[in-house]
Chain A
Amino acid sequence: MPGEELRELANRAVAEIAGAADDAALEAARVKYLGRKEGALSEATKRIAKLPPGEKPAYGAAVNEGKLRIERALEERTRALREARVARDLGGEREDMSLPPRRVRVGRLHPISQTVREVSRVFATMGFETVEGPEIEWDYYNFEALNIPPGHPAREKWQTLWISNPLGDDPSRPLLGRTHTSPMQIRVMEQRRPPVRVVIPGRCYRYEATDAIRESIFFQYEGLAIDEKLTMADLKGVLFSFARQIFGSDRKIRFRIDYFPFTEPSAEIAFDCFSCEGRDPECRVCGGDGWIEAAGCGMVHPDVLRRVGYDPKRYQGFAFGGGIERLAMLRTGAPDIRLFYQNDLRYLEQF
């Protein structure tokens, strides 16, 4: 077959390919011309071997040229068809994207878990290590070691739930639900030597009627730092930093006199109200006086240090304690402390 005929074949193939309406027509054209078994070009290729030696080179070159043209046409048409398809899709039907999606279930941590973590995280920035301890405690750790012996009038501040062990009670060692996280001050100091910097979150118990701001089962955080030179100014700095990190960097802090048998001097910490900044006498967050009482604190009493074997002539430091629920309520506007523990999912799913 002369070269002319081959060119003609290629022309026909290229035209057919260019006119292929879809992928199927294109594939049919490919098979028709380039198919391994019956493709026209394959037939022509087989013929090369039968030609006289002088004609072979020219013929072979013509076959290759035809093949190349057809392949190029196939590629072009494939691309054109794909682009047309994408263009059609892009210009075609619009999904209603306002329809709700396939639901992905969202689980949240309980607001108290979130707040406990937040407290630990903030104090960690100041070198405090989070430790935990028993909720059911001995009277000794909860009271006596903290300068509150039996009959001490300060016990009135910590109305106690007393606990009975079904395996037997020891009248000389009463069990109780810890009324504060402060017994962990003693446990930590019994186990470690200064410098000490710990924060202890955990559950506490009081014999107390509950209302919108008080629960008889609740969470506290306790902080303790002991070293050689820590002062009340350091205590103020730590709590100031805490307030800024929890409630924002504009916060002010206020110390006033308070009394705890296990700290001397003692103080109560208040933050200025992040909601009204003292400007709203009807403020729901602060009650109108512009300050939010947040925690009790003080310098650890020398008798407490002595009791755990720390020399109060050498070591001194501070302790503080506050309510986790109160922080959670302040941060989220939660209206009633009891809602945290009613576990109505419609409520918890908002945190």
Chain B
Amino acid sequence: MLIKMPVSWLREYVDISVPIDELALRLHMSSTEVKGVERPWWDDKVRVGRISKLAKHPNADKLQLATVEYGEDRPKTVVTGATNLTVGDIVPFADEGAQIIDGHTGERTTLRGKPMRGIQSEGMVLSAKELGQGEDHDGIQVLDRKLPVGARLRDVLGETILALELQPNRPDCLGVVGIAREVAAILATGLREPPVDRLPERTSRDLDVRIEDPVACPRFAAALLTGIRIGASPTWIQQRLIAAGMRPIDNVVDITNYVMLELGQPLHAYDHRKLRGGLLVARRARRGETLRTLDGVERVLHDDTLVIADADRALGVAGILGGEDSEIREDTTTVALECASFEPRGIGRTAANLGLHGSAGSAAARRFSWELSPDLVPVALARAVRLLREHAGAEVSGVMDRYPKRRGVVNVRMRFSDIPRVLGIEIGPEETLDILRRLQFVAAADGDTLVATPPAVRTDIAIAEDIVEEVGRIAGYDRLPVRVPDGPLPLHERHPLQEFRERARDGLAGFGLQEVLSYSLIDPAWLGMLTADGSCIAPEPLRVINPTTVAQSAARPTLRASLLDTARRNLRNRAGVAIFEIAPLYLPQRGDLPDERWTIGILLAGNAEPVRDGETWLTPERPWDVRDLQGYVLALADLLDVQTAGDQVDAPGLHPGRSLAFAHDGRRHLVAGQLDPRVAAKWELPAETFIAEIDLSSWLDAARPPRVIAPPRFPAALRDLAIVVDEATPYRDVEREIRAAGGTDLGSIALVDLYRGPQIGAGKKSFAVRLVLRRATATLGEEDVDRLVKRVAGRLQQALGATIRS
């Protein structure tokens, strides 16, 4: 949680003997993250102004002309849309040329006078946002009437502020006093706690307090205060609230906020007139109970919601949101002041249910969702009562404090040697005790044993390791030596799939394809764009319940959509793409985590040898074709020692005449071919788009480490054959028959040419193949070769009806 800590406020409780930048660094290193040190940046042109006259803008109903005195001879007239101004108000005034924050962009800008509806605005009266003091941009920031008109605002309101990012384990730091405690420990100096009234418990006939759910509300205190006069709070309170980013309202509300900022403990003030039965009770909401909350919303309360109620009805959601009816009004004279402790996770859950968690929540709710100490309750109540007595005329007529089950005192017993055991630095008992005492721990040595009791506000301390952290951070992590760990190393495992995947990655990049990596969450609508008829090529995906955008709302069950999208966007500025991606698919499984299947996707589209993108004076322009894609797939299989096998199956979404797919054990492990041109059109891709998908673990299963032999010692004989077959006979069959007939003396087969034409007649084609013939143990003689070729020819004639021409 980001809080703003005015340094002058901090100085009230601790002496700061070092420059602020040094303090900020030491807090940052040892205590709490310092996001920044904000210094007053208003220049000489930002002044204290006084509204001396207000008039309607002649040309616009929603604008006013305000005459502002600001210490110069001639007042200035500014145009403003604000509605909260009255004559005599003291306001921040920016003359032309002043640096202010732009209320719309939030950026620092220089104010330029400009005509608004025909009237020149000679400067500007400023909102809190324009002053850089918060998000409030609805009205002008009205200032204390006692401020001297014409003074530089920097001089009268300027404040150095530490922006602190607090962590939820440190609710004690939510108040200025908590940070002061840290500063005192870091600087080894004393802490001054704020003055409080002693509040003896005094029951009153007019107010009773009850806890019905002591788990959700462990402690509930209240004070009945009479004689209240509602009015503005003192300037110093207002200024500190503003500096801390809150807006002053009236003395009662401001003081409860002030105490919250000071001690971290929120309080809530009720108009006593509205409490039926003079009762405040912490209880669960009744079924169907409703409440009109301060934000003007009529809410139906969930029945596990903790509410603060009177005898009849809920007054507010405990710790989260007050009710409208019981809020303080101008004529309030008697106040019931609540100061309570709530179980933080219940607050967190309820706030989440109401949509008021995290930064959406009120300042109080956000604090209550951390584990505030119940021991803060009487302190905060006493502090608030004192301030209300001093600044709102309050008289105490009753005080109640219900705390049915006291929190036990934490006592950590550990060995002093636990500190070097965990940290690896020697910090001796004496220094340990000193550090803990600076942090207001009660700490003592009992031989080798350390006994430490944290201050009650430190709800984060429970075990020895917590103490180790306290000592380590205040001693300074700088003191940790840099050491390379020794000790036994574990035995490492092999990770075949990872190794295989990385070989594939290197292989494909080595072939010249660029690797891409796209979002694993995709637009589910994409899955309907992968076939001509919109049917699915992949299982129904896992969905994100609360997506940030619909474009990232389904866990992709295929890489294809991502690849097509990547290709589409790149083809807008280039003639061709050759890319691959290796990533898991997420395949749902009943009652289990999804199967995360690592998959290779390859895509080729557009020009393989583009004229536009590359230097191609040596190579003619040509488009990618399906043979390129096959080449990459086969080369990859070759590189990975994969013997692809399986049954040929359909390849949905691809061109039926220019694709292939293989499945094994019901899983399609290789799909490759030309994208269905109707699908290509949906993605604004060229018809010549080629895609391959490989299931990595299936390929890993099909990979056989090569059994190598020495290179051949005897020369090979080459023989060319022209094999004329029917058009319907695939080359695969020809090759299969040659292999079958060739036996072990057949080395390799190369297809040299494919011919169709008048020389062989219609419905026929001729494969020109070159056979490489070789025997491992001897040179093949002419006769051996002739015999082999004859056997091959005979087999082709017999099996395929081929005609052979040598």
Q: Which of B479-538 contact A (CB under 8 A)?
A: 480-485, 487-490, 492-493, 495, 498, 502, 505-506, 508-521
- Our pick among B492, B502, B517 for the contact of A343 (Cβ within 8 Å) is B517
- Our pick among B31, B369, B520, B570 for the contact of A203 (Cβ within 8 Å) is B520
- Our pick among A109, A163, A192 for the contact of B543 (Cβ within 8 Å) is A163
- Contact between A253 and B487 (Cβ–Cβ < 8 Å)? no
Q: In the bound complex, what is the Cα–Cα distance between A275 and B389 (angstroms)?
A: 58
Which residues of the partner chain A approach B520 to less than 8 Å between Cβ atoms? 135, 203, 217
Q: Mark B103-121, 1 if CB is under 8 A from A, else 0.
A: 0000000000000000000
B434 within 8 A of A: no
- Contact between A349 and B514 (Cβ–Cβ < 8 Å)? yes
Q: In the bound complex, what is the Cα–Cα distance between A177 and B521 (angstroms)?
A: 10
- Contact between B517 and A153 (Cβ–Cβ < 8 Å)? no
- Contact between B484 and A237 (Cβ–Cβ < 8 Å)? yes
- Contact between B345 and A149 (Cβ–Cβ < 8 Å)? yes
- Contact between B588 and A165 (Cβ–Cβ < 8 Å)? yes
Interface segment out of the listed B222-230, B590-598, B674-682, B762-770: B590-598
Q: Mark A220-243, 1 if CB is under 8 A from B, else 0.
A: 000001011111111011101100
A79 within 8 A of B: no
Q: Count how many chain B residues have C-beta atoms less than 8 Å from C-beta atoms of the other chain.
A: 102
Nearest CB in chain B: distance from A165 CB, A: 5
Whose C-beta in chain B lies nearest to the C-beta of A210? B548
B30 within 8 A of A: yes
- Our pick among A205, A208, A228, A232 for the contact of B423 (Cβ within 8 Å) is A232
- Contact between A195 and B488 (Cβ–Cβ < 8 Å)? yes
Whose C-beta in chain B lies nearest to the C-beta of A209? B548
- Contact between B344 and A153 (Cβ–Cβ < 8 Å)? yes
Which residues of the partner chain B approach A346 to less than 8 Å between Cβ atoms? 573-574
- Contact between B485 and A208 (Cβ–Cβ < 8 Å)? no
Instruction: Work out how many contacts link A and B, with CB atoms closer than 8 A.
Output: 276
A42 within 8 A of B: no
Q: In the bound complex, what is the Cα–Cα distance between A149 and B344 (angstroms)?
A: 12
Q: Mark A56-86, 1 if CB is under 8 A from B, else 0.
A: 0000000000000000000000000000000
Whose C-beta in chain B lies nearest to the C-beta of A157? B168
Which residues of the partner chain A approach B519 to less than 8 Å between Cβ atoms? 217, 341
- Contact between A232 and B424 (Cβ–Cβ < 8 Å)? yes
Q: Which of B449-503 contact A (CB under 8 A)?
A: 463, 465-466, 468-469, 472-473, 477-478, 480-485, 487-490, 492-493, 495, 498, 502
- Contact between A233 and B424 (Cβ–Cβ < 8 Å)? yes
Which residues of the partner chain B approach A105 to less than 8 Å between Cβ atoms? 511-513, 578
Which residues of the partner chain B approach A155 to less than 8 Å between Cβ atoms? 348
Which residues of the partner chain A approach B502 to less than 8 Å between Cβ atoms? 117
Known: A127-B489, A165-B542. A231 touches B423 (CB 8 A): yes
Closest CB pairs A-B (n = 5): A105-B512, A233-B424, A231-B424, A151-B345, A265-B469
| Apart from A109-B515, A130-B498: 15 A-B pairs, beta carbons within 8 A | A106-B512, A107-B578, A110-B517, A151-B345, A161-B544, A163-B543, A163-B544, A166-B542, A197-B490, A230-B485, A231-B422, A233-B423, A254-B478, A341-B517, A345-B574
What are 12 A-B contacts with C-beta separation under 8 Å?
A103-B619, A127-B490, A129-B490, A130-B495, A135-B584, A135-B596, A154-B168, A195-B489, A217-B552, A225-B485, A236-B481, A257-B29
Interface residues of B (CB under 8 A from A): 28-33, 167-170, 344-346, 348-349, 357-358, 369-370, 420-425, 463, 465-466, 468-469, 472-473, 477-478, 480-485, 487-490, 492-493, 495, 498, 502, 505-506, 508-521, 539-548, 552, 555, 566, 569-570, 573-574, 577-580, 584, 586, 588-591, 593-594, 596, 609, 614-619
Interface residues of A (CB under 8 A from B): 99-110, 112-113, 117, 126-127, 129-132, 134-138, 149-157, 160-168, 170, 175, 177, 192, 194-197, 203, 205, 207-210, 216-217, 225, 227-234, 236-238, 240-241, 253-259, 261, 264-267, 299, 301-302, 316, 340-346, 348-349
